[in-house]
Structure formats: C-alpha cells, structure tokens
Amino acid sequence: QVQLVESGGGLVQAGASLTLSCKHSGRTTSTNGMGWIRQVSGKARELVATISWSGTSTYYADFVKGRFTISRDNSKNTMTLQMNALAPEDTAVYYCAASVRGSTQYVTQLEDYDYWGQGTQVTVSP
C-alpha cells in the first residue's frame, strides 16, 4: 500500500504563485510514475502534470505549460507542483497520484494510477 497526502492548497489572487506538495509513505520503493490531477467542480478529472520515477522525464497538459513545474525528491518521498501565474480557471481540487506498475516512466492515463491522495483545494480569485 502507498499513502499519499497533499498539502499547500489555498486561496490566492490571479497572478500569484502556489506550491503543492505530496508526501508518499508506505511501500514507497514500489512507486513509479507520479502525477498531479485536478478536478473542477462538476467536471471530470484531468491530468495536470506527471513525472517519471527518476524525475528526468515530465509531461504537462497544454493549459499549464510554461506556468507549472513538477518535481520529485525520492530521498524525501515527496513530489511538488510549483504553480505560477495562476488564473481563476485553475481553481480546482488538486490530487496527487502514484502508479506502482512496471514502468518507471511518467503516466498520462488516469486509469493507470493506482493510488490517490485526498486532494487539496486551490482557489484563485480574479
């Protein structure tokens, strides 16, 4: 089992920055690709960014390219999402997710994530 706990959400004004963190525990040695997924109220979850086990490969959704940066530190069992130039449309619940399947690459398909955190709310006011 892998446990994931997000932190760092909150209320900010448009243009501000926010850093989300995900602490993973349990069978962390089996954690491969990880990602941040968000869900706007009333809409389906969507991938924001994902990172390989080594941290050397990343993938971003088009709507965050150039604004968000994903990173991880396996020695500290943490993954981070640095969010800059936030806009009201970024308002959502942000989830941390992890895959424990064979590949160490990043994971773009939501159905390939095995563990999810409880989510943290990010609200961006105009």
Q: pLDDT, tens digit, for every residue of 64-122?
A: 989 999 999 999 999 999 999 999 999 999 999 999 887 789 999 999 999 999 999 99
Q: pLDDT, tens digit, for every residue of 56-75?
A: 999 999 999 899 999 999 99
Residue 9 confidence (pLDDT) above 90: yes
Residue 15 CB partners (closer than 8 Å, separation 6+): 85, 86
The C-alpha atoms of residue 95 and residue 8 are separated, in whole angstroms, by: 12
The C-alpha atoms of residue 60 and residue 76 are separated, in whole angstroms, by: 23
Secondary element (H or E) of residue 21: strand 18-26
The conformation of residue 29, written as its DSSP 8-state character, comes to G
pLDDT of residue 38: 98
